[in-house]
Each structure stands twice: as C-alpha cells, then as structure tokens.
C-alpha cells in the first residue's frame, strides 16, 4: 500500500498578487469579471494572484505570470505602473508604461535610440515616401486639374 504524499502548506500570495486582489475587491469586481476585462481565464487569474497552481493534491507549483499578463491584470483593476513596481513587478510595470505612452513619444524615443546610420536610412526612406506622394499629387494635378 502506497503512503499518502505529504501535503505542503498553501503558499502566501506574492505582493503583486495580493495588491491585484485587493484592488479587484475595492473595484467591486468578481475574479471572473476582472479576468474577463484582462482577457484571461478566471482560473489563470486566480493562479497568478495566488502565486501558485495545484499540481496534485497538497502539492503547489509557483506561478508568477508573464509581465504582459500581470500588466493587463493591473490595468483591469485600476492599478498603475508605480503600483506594480512597488509590489515587486518592475517587468510588468515596464510593459504597462509602454501602453500608456503617446505613440508619437514612443516613435521619438525609438528614433533617438537609433545609430546615426539607422537614422539616415530612416530619413532616406521617409524622403522617398514623401517624394512618391508628391509625384503622385503632381500627376493628379496635371491629370485632373486639382
């Protein structure tokens, strides 16, 4: 007769999981509704906020959740990137922040990060596109008199 597996105690939720759960409850949301807003299953929501999943009776495996998933969860319950950083998930905060950026700001940041050669290639490509548009506009003006 086989001996029963020793049961391990249920792990405490990680700081970010506890914070998300608290914000979810403060927002008056069920786990099901919060998960729906984040675009994940309720089961996955519960695993990530608890910080573990049950792999067999009494046996728990840690779950942290990918940064983008944790960022979506935080957004669904009204948390901020600062909240995520303070709760120990700067990786998720970074993802969250990229969603909050103005697209023009993001583009400028990406251009600033380019090497001079990459920037020249980009400018050349833009010049070609502008030239192509200008040429088409001129052709339309000649053809249709607009």
- Domain layout of the chain by residue ranges: 15-100, 105-144
Q: 15-100 has which CATH code?
A: 1.10.260
- The whole-number pLDDT of residue 127 equals 80
User: Across-strand partners of 23?
Assistant: none
3-state SS record for the chain:
CCCCCCCCCCCCCCHHHHHHHHHHHHCCCCHHHHHHHHCCCHHHHHHHHHCEEEEECCEEEECCCCHHHHHHHHHHCCCCHHHHHHCCCHHHHHHHHHHHCCHHHHHHHHHHCCCHHHHHHHHHHHHHHHHHHHHHHHHHHHHHCC
| Residue bearing the bigger pLDDT, 84 or 102 | 84
pLDDT above 90: percentage of residues in the chain: 53
Average pLDDT of the residues of the chain:
86
Query: pLDDT-based confidence at 30, cuts 50/70/90?
Result: very high
pTM above 0.75, yes or no: no
pLDDT at residue 48 above 80? yes
- Using CA atoms, how far apart are residues 127 and 130, in angstroms rounded to an integer? 5
């Amino acid at each position: 007769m086989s001996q029963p597996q020793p049961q391990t105690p249920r792990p405490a939720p990680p700081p970010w999981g506890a914070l998300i759960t608290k914000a979810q409850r403060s927002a008056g949301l069920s786990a099901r509704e919060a998960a729906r807003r984040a675009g994940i299953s309720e089961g996955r929501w519960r695993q990530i906020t608890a910080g573990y999943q049950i792999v067999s009776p009494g046996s728990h495996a840690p779950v942290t959740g990918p940064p983008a998933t944790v960022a979506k969860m935080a957004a669904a319950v009204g948390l901020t990137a600062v909240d995520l950083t303070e709760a120990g998930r700067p990786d998720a905060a970074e993802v969250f922040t990229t969603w909050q950026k103005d697209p023009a700001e993001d583009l400028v940041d990406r251009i600033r990060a380019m090497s001079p050669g990459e920037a020249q290639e980009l400018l050349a490509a833009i010049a070609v596109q502008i030239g192509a548009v200008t040429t088409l506009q001129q052709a339309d003006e000649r053809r249709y008199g607009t």
